[in-house]
Amino acid sequence: MRLLLIIGALATTAACGGGRVSGDVGTACMEAGRRDASPALCSCVQQVASQTLSGRDQERAAAFFADPQLAQDTRQSDNASSEAFWLRYKAFSDQATRICLPTT
């Protein structure tokens, strides 16, 4: 099982460097105007989103790039649906950080 996870991470990392950005999350990443955003990084984040979030969750997560307050409101919501989404989003975010950001 561990070997499969490592192979999956390597395949994802290899796919991240293509430079072509697509998908709701990848496009939002590029359009947000963050200093460290790049086609390689945003493509990688989209790859992780595609593996971990449904299409509907990706649409919802993409909105956070344009409106960070929306993320905060979602995190603090008492709505059961928002709470469940936040747990899925947090898992996606943690995995994207591990896979897509270089460690220094």
What is the CA 61 to chain-centroid distance, rounded?
8
**Mean pLDDT of all residues in 20-35:** 91
Distance CA 51, CA 99 (A): 12
> pLDDT-based confidence at 53, cuts 50/70/90?
very high
Distance CA 49, CA 76 (A): 22
Amino acid letter, 64: F
| pLDDT score of 4 more than 80 | no
Whole-model pTM: value is 0.77
